[in-house]
Amino acid sequence: MPTGSLTASYGTFGSATGSIDLGYGSDNWGNFFELDGLDTSRFLDPPEFVVFHDKGNQQNVFDRVDYQFTPANALHLNLNYSRSWFQTPNSYDSLNVLDQFGNDVGNAGQHSKIETFDIAPTYTRTIGTTSVFNFGPYIRKDTYQYYPSGNPLADLGPPNLQTQTIGQYRTLTNAGVHSDISYTKGKQTIKGGAIYSNTFLRERDSLGIVAPTFNSPCLNAGGTPVDGFTNPAQCAAAGYQPNTAANPNATGTLFNPVLLPYDLTRAGANYEYFGHADIKELALYIEDSIKAGNWLFNLGIRGDLYNGLASATQAEPRLGLGYSIKRTNTALRVSYARTLESPFNENLVLSSQGCSNDVLSPLLHCSPAVAGTLQPGFRNEFHAGLQQAFGKNLVFSGDYIWKYTHNAFDFSVLGNTPITFPIKFCDDVEMVVMCNLQLGLLPRAAPGHGQPR
């Protein structure tokens, strides 16, 4: 008999949610369907106490189908689609924006849309009573669109927030295949597998300067940029100084003639950028879990081959040890993992190739001595922890985590816009201490090796 549920809610800021789920099937097949949505006037955290221009909505659809051909053969299919649309919250600086002539060009109206679909079938075969084999292709596509204001000059904000208008259309398509086989005999479980994926990156950006003093050819007597000129040769006749390297009083950002055609305050037009890349990744792994008395051993090694805008290979051993003291209800654990750290895919092409682009280079703050292409790195990670039960209803858990990362990654900002891109810094060391106290009838988790990322 089909079973399901229907829920709805309404709260402050006009926040309405709704969801429906339904499950049905027979002896050898089943289907689970879920649909949910959200609509609110406070989608993101606003910069002001008063919320305005902060509407957003979100929808998710998920379907899971399972079909068992025989007792040893089954097929599983996951289907998912999600969509979200939301405004960029405004501050008071974004209201009634004035251009360089004092004209009101309206309020900033920037917003985003994200769409994702995912198709992932998996074939499972049980081999005897000891082994399970899985094989499955998959494809996922993420589409991100950033929309500027209707009047691009309305995107002007404070100098430290936004001096350019930008629109973006970016897609990330990840297609691949995975396969694994596991074998269990007595107190030992061995699992090995392979994962191959191809990630297609496509990035389109439309960028224009909207601050009249961002790339000014002229400076006043105090060294402050002024608007209204397109050439340093025009400055002297108006009583100003040229904003060039030849002027010792020009101590700020110098006038860059390459950016002049893309200055909307000087009759320019948007600069159109397109970048693309295909990133191939192959991973092979084998792991072994052995239980011997009060001990639990997790051993494994993984090999990664990364071939994108840069290439890297990495052998990644993993080791986890756990010991259970039954008399005191104590579990101790330590682990080590080495991992390949690949750069983030979001705007990766822009980050890697932008420093060789005459227009984007000054906006990315490129250094001549630093190569633009992001090189993958590696991480060594150690975990140590304990879990202590007090009676049947109280469990304390504590962990100490130490990470060393060579070629760690973070994000920077494209010019003065809301668009971010990945950057690299050489080395990073993190130390984390976590404690958790749980009350209730909770089973203790088996100790194991640390998470790779």
202-231 residue pLDDT tens: 999 999 999 999 999 999 988 899 998 999
Neighbours of 5 (CB within 10 A): 10
Lowest mean pLDDT among 122-136, 267-281, 387-401: 387-401
Whether pLDDT at 286 is above 70: yes
pLDDT at 240 over 70: yes
Strands (E), 293-329: 295-307, 311-325
Q: Which two tokens stand for residue 143?
A: 């589409």
**Within 13 Å, how many C-alpha atoms sit on residue 71's CB side?**
3
pLDDT of res. 80: 98
Output the pLDDT for position 228: 87
**Which pLDDT score is estimated for 449?**
40
Q: According to the model, what pLDDT value does residue 391 have?
A: 82
By percentage, how much of the chain surpasses pLDDT 90?
74
pLDDT on residue 451: 39
- Token pair of 79 as six digits: 């289907």
Q: What pLDDT shows up at residue 362?
A: 86
Span 117-132, average pLDDT? 96
pLDDT of residue 262: 96
Question: What's the chain's average pLDDT?
Answer: 91
Contact indicator for 99, 70 with CB cutoff of 8 Å: no
pLDDT band at 450 (very low <50, low <70, confident <90, very high): very low
pLDDT confidence bin for 370, thresholds 50/70/90: low
Q: Which residues pair with 77 in a beta bridge?
A: 65, 121
Region of poorest pLDDT, from 111-125, 285-299, 408-422? 408-422
- Report the pLDDT value the prediction gives residue 35, as an integer from 0 to 100: 97
Q: Is the pLDDT of residue 306 over 50?
A: yes
| Whole-number pLDDT of residue 280 | 97
User: What's the whole-number mean pLDDT along residues 336-351?
Assistant: 94
Q: In this model, does residue 403 exceed pLDDT 80?
A: yes
| 419 closest CA partner among 378, 376, 367, 364 | 364
pLDDT score for 390 = 87
Does the pLDDT value for residue 427 go beyond 90? no
Distance of CA 240 to the CA centre of its chain: 46
- Would you say 379 and 339 are in contact if contact means Cβ atoms under 8 Å apart? yes
Residues 6+ apart with CB under 8 A from 301: 285, 286, 287, 315, 316, 317, 318
CA-CA distance, 362 to 54, in Å (whole number)? 32
Which of 59-73, 111-125, 185-199, 351-365 shows the lowest mean pLDDT across its residues? 351-365
Q: Would you give the DSSP letter of residue 260?
A: G
406, 306, 343, 146: CA torsion to nearest 10 = 180
Give phi and psi for 153, each to the nearest 5. -65, -20
Decide if pLDDT at 84 tops 90. Answer: yes
pLDDT at 160: 79
Read off the pLDDT of each residue in 242-265 and give the average, rounded to a whole number.
Answer: 92
Residue keyed to tokens 């990945």: 422
**Residue 437's pLDDT band (boundaries 50, 70, 90)?**
low
Please provide residue 264's backbone torsions phi and psi, each rounded to the nearest 5 degrees. -70, -20
pTM: 0.88
CA atoms of 251 and 232, how far apart (whole Å): 15
The predicted pLDDT at position 439 comes to 59
